[in-house]
Amino acid sequence: MPFVKKKFIATKKQRAFLYLVKELGYTQREAQRLIAKGRLLVNGEALTKAGADIEGEFEFIYFEPITKGLKPLYETEEFVVFDKPSGVLIHPQNRNTPYSLIDELKYQYGRDANITHRIDQETSGLVLCAKNKKSERDIKMMFEERNMKKTYLALVRGEFPDELIVEEPLLRAEDASAIVRMVVKVHENGKPSKTEFKCLKYFQDLDMSLVECKPYTGRQHQIRVHLFHVKHPIVGDPIYGQDENNIVRFLDKELSAQERLYNTGASRLLLHASALEFTLYDKVYSIKSNVNSEAIFLSALA
């Protein structure tokens, strides 16, 4: 379990955050943030004031990464790229999450290493991670300034046009209904969004197409929503194209694997982050996944 609770003893009265800085190696900012989150317990009660003092025995809940042996696809002194399997979270959802990609990254490269962008849990493929604080800032700035070219592969329903550009604004819905907890939709009040699509192969016997997707903006669920909007939803998508009851059951982890397979046509979302192109510190990088997406997609079909 990545989050562990251990006992410590402060031999003299001191500020709680200073103990975490001096004894456990956190920065002052990190220590104060962890205390504010209720990670430091005195007599079983969370100490939430960063300026509070501690003395004697206390408990501290912290992230202790584990490894499942996932090797990086590409590595430099400043960053590392993992080819994430489908089903692996980028970050823990809560303290009980048994494993996520941040585990693997910090286990292998230390506390200062961090993930610089996200892909969905069921989306497989390339994730760019910084090895240190400086490269993290620079890579995140590169994403903000849209100096990162990302390419995805998706298996979609129907015969897709040879080429298609979708420019539809996307809005993250805010509503009390359970259905919109993570649903994004095309809406005139949404943020500008653009995706370029190219059909690579049509499987006539399946009435499905293998499509290359290039998002120019980085909105949540952008590729999934744009494909659904043009009536070519991604095979295996448990959200877009499903009825409300099944969406809620999926989000609540109440939908069985067999039901999921029957409803969506695949055991997972058939979307893979296949390539990254960018320039960092005056060097051009073009990194491609070595996964055979087509074979994996076809093997996941019902």
The catalytic residue positions are: 120
Rounded Cα distance between 79 and 280, Å, is 10
Helix axes 16-24, 28-36, angle to 10 degrees: 130
Residue 112 three-state SS:
coil
Name the DSSP class of 111. T
Helix axes 257-264, 244-251, angle to 10 degrees: 140
Nearest to 104 by CA among 142, 140, 70: 70
CA-based R_g, the chain, Å = 22
Pick left, alpha or beta for residue 270 (phi over 0 → left; psi -120 to 50 → alpha; otherwise beta).
beta
* Cα 18 from chain centroid (whole Å): 32
Q: Which two tokens stand for residue 159?
A: 């015969």
Rounded Cα distance between 194 and 180, Å, is 22
Pick left, alpha or beta for residue 273 (phi over 0 → left; psi -120 to 50 → alpha; otherwise beta).
beta
Residue 177 burial by Cβ neighbours in a 10 Å radius (0-12, 13-18, 19+):
exposed
